[in-house]
A and B are shown apart, each in its own frame.
Chain A
Amino acid sequence: MTSGNLLAVDNLHTYLGDSHIIQGVSFAVPRGKVVALLGRNGAGKTTTLRSIMRLVPPRSGTITLDGKTTEGLRTYELARRGLAFVQETRAIFPSLSVEENLAIAERKAAAGGGWTLERVFNDFPSLAARRNNGGTQLSGGEQQMLAIARALIANPQMLILDEPSEGLAPLIVRQIADLLNKLKSEGMTMLLVEQNFALATEVADDVVVLGKGRVRWSGTSAQLRAADDIRHTWLGV
């Protein structure tokens, strides 16, 4: 495994209509590390992720994956190159069964082994019990687990998670945190957007604080916990 940055975002500018949402954001996600993007509502966290996945086209700036620019690539090509995006609000396909939701994203690992349907059902027993159930018959926690499992079964190089804890009960947030910690210990690179400060700083190695479309601070999780002024100004915690 080579070191260095798996994903690098440099001077990213994104507009939604006439609004200049992302105003020159730069950060990097080193291979094997977990980076959290924090910030208040409207800070541009989700738009940054959507720009990386090219679900919204950035106006300017470069994004490199594995040292190669992603310019000109489409969303599905980025997914096939190893970016697995777990979208906000548990973006599963409601009319598809649990198994079909997984099958649609399944891709064999380059080096063999990796995540298969069997391993997913082994590691997510609550999904195994509902493998033939429709997506709408799952609880919120199960839907979020399914969304994460669906990202893993593509055997990605990197997980991009948009608020995985949103709207979930504390007990289930704990399960999500444990899952993310386990994935981290297995060496999975992750970019995490979170409102839940405790969860984010527990899982992440590095934190990038966004405010009004710009990077306001970056450092380690431990440094952020100590930096009271930053937390008050840009995160309100």
Chain B
Amino acid sequence: MAMTRNNLRLSIGVAVAVLALITQLSTGAFAQELFAEAAILAVFALSLDLLARSGLVSFGHAGFLGLGAYTFGGLAVLQNWPPSLAMAAALAGGIVSGLIIGCFAVRTSGAFFIMVTLAVAEMFFSWVFRSPLFNGADGMGGVPRLDMRAMGLDLNNPKNFATFCILICICVWIFAEYIIVTPFGRTLDAIRQNANRVSAVGGRVFSYRLAAFALSGAIGALSGALKAQHTNFLSPDLATWVVSGDVLIAVVIGGMGTFVGGIIGSGLLVYLKEILSSNFGHWYLFLGGIFIGVALILPRGIVGSLLDWLDRRNARNNPAPAREEEA
């Protein structure tokens, strides 16, 4: 029995999850901060990649991240909500804003969708940048982390927080993998391949894309709530287009539509940023160069190219049996 695309994808995912959990436990506090950062970016990447399954690529996904962060931080700091409740509110905020923005955004696609999502995210950025409520451009500190001491887990400890973020990322990954095998997820696949065909067989493309957008918004907001907890700080920078660009790079480098690719891409991005920024002044220049290189050598991303290689190998080893003429 030859290895299938899906099995390889899932195996890589499990391997990455196990490796991350084990390595993380045996490193120092500084590396654990990086693990937490990578896991949070990976959750964000999964949100983007889930939306991409429906054929929509957003360039304003930082809007959801910022919204989740500000909903969580705002409610926890200004309203003294318990962090668990604030986190639930952030998720709900992601869904609701996804539904509202989606109502006009998902009617477009391609470059128009990119422009609409970018515009909405920049609107959110402009608002929090000037809002006196959140200290505008100065940002707002004192954002608490989830209180899990009742379960014997102090999340203010870097090791615990990193473990927590990795576990959330694993849960989101499993959820995303589950979604794409449901009839809903299979229909998203069909829409990505040909939206007109789906309409012609009676599927309302708008509804499916709207649902995908809201789901993606919820996961994006979740990553924002985690991000605010990680840095204990809210900054308008969370919602800039650079953040949208970073996550897009992570997904593209890892392999769009593969889920685990975006996770690997996130780890790579966080690691390279750390290495490069501590050694070079113009480190984004080097980062850009590396990604151009990867994109040229592996046009479908790291995992995407690996899956293509598997397909070619399987096709070589098991040539399709000759068909009877009557088909």
B197 touches A87 (CB 8 A): yes
Chain B residue nearest to A137 (CB atoms) is B320
Residues of B within 8 A of A (CB): 183, 186-187, 189-190, 193-194, 196-205, 320, 323, 325-327
B202 touches A93 (CB 8 A): no
A29 CB, min distance to chain B CBs, angstroms: 18
A75 touches B200 (CB 8 A): yes
- Chain B residues whose CB sits within 8 angstroms of the CB of A74 once the complex forms: 199, 204
In this assembly, does A131 line the interface, its C-beta being within 8 Å of a C-beta of chain B?
no
A139 touches B327 (CB 8 A): yes
- Chain A residues whose CB sits within 8 angstroms of the CB of B189 once the complex forms: 93, 95-96
Supplied contacts A76-B205, A104-B187, A169-B325, 7 more A-B pairs, CB within 8 Å: A53-B200, A96-B190, A104-B190, A104-B201, A105-B201, A126-B327, A172-B326
Beta-carbon contacts under 8 Å, A66-98 to B? 74-76, 79-80, 84-85, 87, 91, 93-96
Among B189, B200, B203, residue most surrounded by chain A Cβ atoms (within 10 Å): B200
A172 touches B327 (CB 8 A): yes
Main secondary structure of the interface of B (DSSP, over half): helix
B202 touches A76 (CB 8 A): yes
Chain B residue nearest to A160 (CB atoms) is B200
Q: With contacts A137-B320, A172-B327 known, is A91 near B190, CB below 8 A?
A: no
What is the bound-complex CA distance between A90 and B85, given in angstroms?
A: 51
Question: How many pairs of residues, A versus B, come closer than 8 Å at their CB atoms?
Answer: 74
Q: With contacts A96-B189, A104-B187, A126-B327 known, is A55 near B199, CB below 8 A?
A: yes
Partner of B200, one of A85, A96, A126: A85
- Chain B residues whose CB sits within 8 angstroms of the CB of A137 once the complex forms: 320
A123 CB, min distance to chain B CBs, angstroms: 16
What is the bound-complex CA distance between A104 and B189, given in angstroms?
A: 11
B198 CB, min distance to chain A CBs, angstroms: 7
B202 touches A154 (CB 8 A): yes
In this assembly, does A140 line the interface, its C-beta being within 8 Å of a C-beta of chain B?
yes
A16 CB, min distance to chain B CBs, angstroms: 15
- Chain B residues whose CB sits within 8 angstroms of the CB of A100 once the complex forms: 186
Partner of B199, one of A76, A150, A169, A175: A76
What is the bound-complex CA distance between A199 and B203, given in angstroms?
A: 31
- Chain B residues whose CB sits within 8 angstroms of the CB of A175 once the complex forms: 326
A148 CB, min distance to chain B CBs, angstroms: 12
- Chain B residues whose CB sits within 8 angstroms of the CB of A154 once the complex forms: 201-202
What is the bound-complex CA distance between A76 and B183, given in angstroms?
A: 17
27 contacts between A and B (CB under 8 A): A53-B200, A55-B196, A74-B204, A75-B196, A75-B200, A76-B202, A79-B199, A79-B200, A79-B201, A85-B200, A85-B201, A91-B194, A91-B200, A93-B189, A93-B190, A93-B194, A95-B189, A95-B190, A104-B187, A104-B190, A104-B201, A104-B203, A105-B202, A150-B201, A154-B202, A169-B325, A172-B327
- Chain B residues whose CB sits within 8 angstroms of the CB of A105 once the complex forms: 201-202
Chain A residue nearest to B192 (CB atoms) is A95
A96 touches B327 (CB 8 A): no
A104 touches B186 (CB 8 A): yes
Partner of B204, one of A76, A91, A169: A76
- Chain A residues whose CB sits within 8 angstroms of the CB of B326 once the complex forms: 141, 171-172, 175
B151 CB, min distance to chain A CBs, angstroms: 41
What is the bound-complex CA distance between A57 and B200, given in angstroms?
A: 14
B323 touches A139 (CB 8 A): yes
In this assembly, does A103 line the interface, its C-beta being within 8 Å of a C-beta of chain B?
yes
In this assembly, does A212 line the interface, its C-beta being within 8 Å of a C-beta of chain B?
no
- Chain A residues whose CB sits within 8 angstroms of the CB of B200 once the complex forms: 53, 55, 75-76, 79, 85, 87, 91
Among A80, A104, A139, residue most surrounded by chain B Cβ atoms (within 10 Å): A104
Chain A residue nearest to B320 (CB atoms) is A137
What is the bound-complex CA distance between A169 and B325, given in angstroms?
A: 9
- Chain A residues whose CB sits within 8 angstroms of the CB of B183 once the complex forms: 103-104
B304 CB, min distance to chain A CBs, angstroms: 14
Partner of B197, one of A80, A93, A139, A169: A93
What is the bound-complex CA distance between A110 and B189, given in angstroms?
A: 28
- Chain A residues whose CB sits within 8 angstroms of the CB of B204 once the complex forms: 74, 76
The 7 A-B residue pairs with the shortest CB-CB distance in the complex, in nearest-first order = A79-B202, A75-B199, A141-B327, A105-B201, A139-B327, A93-B190, A85-B200
Among A84, A93, A94, A169, residue most surrounded by chain B Cβ atoms (within 10 Å): A93
Q: With contacts A100-B186, A141-B327, A172-B327 known, is A107 near B193, CB below 8 A?
A: no
B49 CB, min distance to chain A CBs, angstroms: 16
In this assembly, does A205 line the interface, its C-beta being within 8 Å of a C-beta of chain B?
no
In this assembly, does A10 line the interface, its C-beta being within 8 Å of a C-beta of chain B?
no
Partner of A94, one of B186, B193, B198, B325: B193
A93 CB, min distance to chain B CBs, angstroms: 4
A91 touches B327 (CB 8 A): no
A107 touches B202 (CB 8 A): yes
